[in-house]
Structure 1
Amino acid sequence: MVLGSDLKRRNVGAVAAAAVLVLAAALTACSDDNGGGSSASPTPTVEQSTATAPADPAAARQEIKQNWEKFFDPAVSAQDKQAVLENGEQMAPVLQGFNGDQRGQQVKADVEKIEFTSPTEANVTYTLLLQGATALPNASGTAVEQNGTWKVSAKTLCALVQLSGNGSGSPVPGC
């Protein structure tokens, strides 16, 4: 038993030492500031975490919040809503159905949380208000960056149309 325990400790120590050596080699390769060579250096793990967000996350969050609130504002025209909806032209019939529903004409959204899942996609947590009263708290949707604009995803609209009962359990055309 003691011999086996000693071997396990050595293996853990060897793995930890190897991990430190690999990490040190990666950091040394990435910290070379001489600008020489045209081959790409490996990117350290710390920098890879930023790959899940756009270049300017604060500006993207602001645009997402603004466009979601525009999309769910009854005072905004269907054409303006279409401009902030993913594949807006193709989704026009679905949007028209959503806006044509009495409840769709009375909803607003309060964006509460935005989490980026990639440089061009984000999960959005929001509360849907119907005539100022909370109708759907902590709702989940997605935003996508399309042609330089952050938009409400088509799948979010389709899910809301299905939820509203307009789909009658059958697939909504366009979704």
Structure 2
Amino acid sequence: MRTSLLRTTAVCCSLVVATALAGCGSDDESDAAPATTAAVTTSAAPPTADAATVAAITKTYTTFFDGSKSATERAALVESGDAFLAILQAQSATPATSGTSVTVASVTPTGATTADVGYTLLMGGNPVLPDQTGQAVKQGDTWKVAAATFCALLAIQGGTSTAC
């Protein structure tokens, strides 16, 4: 199980890196400006979230991953929640789910309505998926767990959804 989890995590990380790198270049040199000899150096600080955003995203993650919460309440906190409701209801029926929780270690904005979230998934207070990176998306005034994050966790469990 652990080897499978590590392999799945490595594949997911590789796909994320490959996707990010694919979007970084341009092979259209016909419109390129003439080269200059001056170099421009920028040193941007990593983006930080304000305290209210961190608190909102942390609350969303802790509520969504709280196995004692109802499936309906949890579905309201995940992107495309209606599509995941049946899965969340099935998970709520299993005794192991009632002991799940999460700790949030970091929140890093990636845009005005998106953020990366460092978290550890716990069962019975014990880490089962430590040091994970998920995403949060803001829809209206509500921060939600990104569907891609929930889909990745479903895949690790061997599950699937048409919403993924």
The interval holding the TM-score normalised by the smaller chain is 0.5 to 0.7
Q: Paired residue for 1:91?
A: 84
Give a deviation string over 1:50-96, Cα, whole Å, max 9, x none. Answer: 9x67xx72211100001110111122111111111112122212323
Partner of 1:15: helix, strand, or coil?
coil
Note the residue ranges of structure 1 that are not aligned, 5 or more in a row: 1-11, 20-44
Identity of aligned residues (%): 34
Partner of 2:153: helix, strand, or coil?
helix
What is the alpha-carbon distance in structure 2 between the residues aligned to residue 162 and residue 65 of structure 1? 23
Q: Contact 1:94/1:174 (CA < 8 Å) preserved in 2?
A: no
Q: Report the Cα offset of residue 164 of structure 1.
A: 1.4
Letter in 1 for 2:161: V
TM-score using structure 2 length: 0.67
- Cα distance change of structure 1 residues 161 and 101 upon mapping to structure 2, 3 Å threshold: farther
Q: Paired residue for 1:150?
A: 143
Tell me which moved more, 149-158 or 85-94: 85-94
Q: Paired residue for 2:162?
A: 173
Matches within 5 A, 1:159-170: 159-165=152-158, 167=159
Q: Report the Cα offset of residue 107 of structure 1.
A: 1.0
- Cα distance change of structure 1 residues 157 and 97 upon mapping to structure 2, 3 Å threshold: farther
Q: Report the Cα offset of residue 102 of structure 1.
A: 4.1
Match of 1:136 among 125, 129, 132: 129
Letter in 1 for 2:162: P
**Greater fraction of residues in helix:** 1
Q: Paired residue for 2:58?
A: 65
Letter in 2 for 1:105: S
What is the alpha-carbon distance in structure 2 between the residues aligned to residue 89 and residue 156 of structure 1? 16
What is the alpha-carbon distance in structure 1 between the residues aligned to residue 141 and residue 96 of structure 2? 30
Letter in 1 for 2:56: E
- Number of positions where the alignment pairs a residue of Structure 1 with one of Structure 2: 130
Give a deviation string over 1:129-169, Cα, whole Å, max 9, x none. Answer: 1111111110111100012100111111111111112x2xx
What is the alpha-carbon distance in structure 2 between the residues aligned to residue 143 and residue 121 of structure 1? 6
Q: Report the Cα offset of residue 101 of structure 1.
A: 4.3
Q: Contact 1:162/1:172 (CA < 8 Å) preserved in 2?
A: no
What is the alpha-carbon distance in structure 1 between the residues aligned to residue 74 and residue 104 of structure 2? 16
Q: Contact 1:93/1:174 (CA < 8 Å) preserved in 2?
A: no
Moved over 6 A (4+): none
TM-score using structure 1 length: 0.63
Partner of 2:115: helix, strand, or coil?
strand
